[in-house]
Amino acid sequence: MEKIQSVQGMHDILPDEQDYFTFIKKVVRHRCRQNGIRRITTPVVEDTILFKRAIGEQTDIVEKEMYTFIDQGENQLTLRPEGTAGVVRAYIEHGMSNLPQPVQLYYFEPMFRRERPQKGRYRQLFQFGVEIMGESDPALDAQLIALAYTICQDLGIADMVDVVINSIGCPVCRPKYITHLQNFYAGKERNLCDKCKTRLEKNPLRLLDCKEEDCQILANLAPKITDHLCTECKDFHDHLKDYLQALDIPFRESPKLVRGLDYYTKTVFEFVLKNDPKAQNTVCGGGRYDKLVEFLGGPNTPASGFAFGIDRLVMTMKDAGIIVPSKDTIHVVIIQLGEDAKKKAIRLLQDLRSKGVKAMGSFGKDSIKSQMRLADKLEAPYALILGQMEVKNKTIILRDMKKGTQTIIKYDDVLPEILKTIDNKTLDTHDFSTELTRL
Ligand code: HAM
């Protein structure tokens, strides 16, 4: 039979990698709770028009990276390429502007972009993002950047990232700046790459972050948006910088940072890996989007947010040799021989687990040797061996797998003996029934 493989650019997240995802999720949940940010999950699929309108028709994402299809009911749908549009749609749809503002939400979900796959660039990618709607103050942007930075510290990668900020102005000052930019490029078109030639017409701001060398040279000479901000945007940006300093967040300004989505106003920022010449080095991107809620049919509502690429975080942590805790290790493997022993063993497994002992048995293997080999491979520190003789004598053998020593204990004492032997801190106990309440 022909082998069926995963779709190009979409990868499985196997158990060892899950440890990194679990750790990141734990950090995110903890920091979001501290900030009063609550989780939201929006559907993976939305009407295509949502992304076209929110992200912008002339962006790379909308022009060529969306997974769009027509369903059986003739609806044009798209697998979400990012999280902001769906969260804003939900904010409007559920009348969240009537809630106390700001409304603070986070998500941890897969996104889909049909980009050219390479290291750190996938077609199914995971993002953790925060969106805060209903507050227009640079202190909010500073706090969002601080939160993203704290998360980098928690993950052990803060010293590897540069926090880069910029302001891309507002509908008052940006169009004037774009005219300056176009004037600057007039007559220099032949020095631009083909993509930038079209950008000059369609999306001139993106000329500034082209990676081609010749385009970069021109971008460095181009007029800077920070020299053309209106008073309101300039004040806003100056305050943001003051607050970042007050929060001790190291940052660098780059007038060339423009981001690839059209909804931003004023603040934009990215966390970029230092000393990494590869193109896929942005682990976090975000900014303010004061016009988006209104643009999608809601009330005039300022908003700001960011998103991390989780796959890139995992890659960065692994490359840096950072090891996350794993709780998947097994304490005990039960080894049994004969039908009576098997019956006792399945019950014993259940009793061990109810005490928080992580225990496994392999009931399909009939030789003690093959079961022992499994215990070895699982790196279980202990094995409990139950053969016909032990069943008859009401005993069980406790084997220390590392030392290779064995002791015979009374079957009735097996639970207290195991609990005495195992480091209690590693037990996996949870009494869920005590956590629930009823109306
Ligand atoms: P973005 O810059 O398009 O922003 O994506 C955010 C992050 O997702 C990137 O910095 C990167 O780490 C990760 N990422 C993006 N594309 C890929 C890919 N193909 N493979 C792996 N990782 C990827 C947004 O999506 C905005 N919604 C962020 C935002 C939220 N702005 C305001 N609120």
Q: pLDDT value at position 276? A: 72
Q: Give the pair of three-digit tokens for residue 244.
A: 């970042």
Task: Return the structure tokens found at 427.
Answer: 């037990």
pLDDT tens sequence across 282-294: 999 999 999 999 9
Q: Is the CB of 131 under 6 A from ligand 1?
A: yes
- In the reported structure, the alpha carbon of residue 140 is separated from the centroid of ligand 1 by a whole-number distance in angstroms of 20
Tell which one of 79, 89, 127 to mutate to probe ligand 1, the residue whose CB is within 8 A of the most ligand atoms.
Answer: 127
**Predicted pLDDT of residue 277:** 66
Q: Give the per-residue pLDDT at 211.
A: 86
Indicate the average pLDDT of the chain.
Answer: 95
CB of residue 312 inside a 6 A radius of ligand 1: yes
Q: Is residue 81 in contact with ligand 1, taking CB distance under 6 Å?
A: no
Q: What are phi and psi of 163, to 5 degrees?
A: -90, 115
Task: Read off the pTM.
Answer: 0.95
Could you report the per-residue pLDDT of 380-394, keeping only the tens digit for each? 999 999 999 999 999
Cα–Cα distance, 294 to 133 (Å, whole number): 12
Whether residue 129 has its Cβ less than 6 Å from ligand 1? yes
Residue type, 326: S
Which residue has the CA at smallest separation from atom 15 of ligand 1? 309
C-alpha 81 chain-centroid distance: 14
Q: Please give the distance, rounded to the nearest whole angstrom, from the Cα atom of residue 309 to the centre of ligand 1.
A: 6
CA of 391 to the centre of ligand 1 (A): 59
Cβ-based burial of 127 (10 A; exposed 0-12, middle 13-18, buried ≥19): buried
Ligand 1 atom nearest the C-alpha of 261 is 3
* Mean pLDDT for back-to-back runs of 10 residues, the chain (439 residues): 96 95 98 98 98 96 97 98 98 98 98 95 98 98 98 97 97 95 93 91 90 92 96 98 98 95 97 79 97 98 98 96 94 95 96 96 88 94 96 97 96 96 92 89
Residue 330's pLDDT is what? 95
Residue whose Cα lies nearest atom 8 of ligand 1: it is: 309
The protein residue with its alpha carbon nearest to ligand 1, atom 25, reads 82
Cα–Cα distance, 172 to 384 (Å, whole number): 74
Q: Is the CB of 309 inside a 6 Å radius of any atom of ligand 1? A: yes
